[in-house]
Amino acid sequence: MPVYRQYAIGSRLVTKMPVVKSIDLMEPTEEQAVGVLQAVGVDKSLECFEAICVTDVGEGGLAWGDMADQLPAIKRLDLRVEVPEDLGDGDAAGEFGIACVKSLLKIRGIEEIHFGLSGPGGDSFLRLVQERTQGNTIAGLEGRYDIDLRLQRLTLKRLDT
């Protein structure tokens, strides 16, 4: 069965499941991942949403925070996003990652984010985060966090809940 059909079927099924607490997706497009979240419903909440290797993300990064009013509350978010090829592996890719995290922090209920970039650009993202980290804050991101940079990803745990 083609992958796009699997996500379409999953989106329909999740509307029939009143107690979904965790969702794991492998290699969804950004549109598919957002579609699954919207299908869960704005009136519900998830303990965990994990999407590995999210593809087809625009050069401006994930904009999920801009549609937070259409998504469920999510306590723990674990994402790995593929960098658009045009951004290369330098600072543009790092800024892409920071833009993604900034948007994701706007989702209701977020307490913990695990975020990394797939492919080239991951090192630039981690370097920029490290350069901008001052204690428990990161320049450009609102809030205070327990910050961990390990295993090619950034982990943020909110301290201001």
Output the tens digit of pLDDT for each of the chain's 161 residues.
444 445 555 555 555 556 678 999 999 999 999 999 999 999 999 999 999 999 999 999 999 999 999 999 999 999 999 999 999 889 999 999 999 999 999 999 999 999 999 888 899 999 999 999 999 999 989 999 999 998 889 999 999 76
Total residues belonging to the chain: 161
pTM given for the model: 0.88
| Domain regions of the chain by residue span | 3-158
The CA dihedral of 128, 129, 135, 140, to the nearest 10 degrees, is 90
SS3 96: helix
Whether residue 48 contacts residue 73, with contact meaning beta carbons closer than 8 Å, is answered with no
Least Cα distance to 98 among 50, 149, 52, 37 occurs for: 149
Tell me the CB-side half-sphere exposure of residue 31, using CA atoms within 13 A.
6
- Its sign, for the CA torsion 73, 146, 142, 117, is negative
Per the listing, tokens 């069965």 go with 1
Helices 30-40 and 3-14: angle between axes, nearest 10 degrees: 20
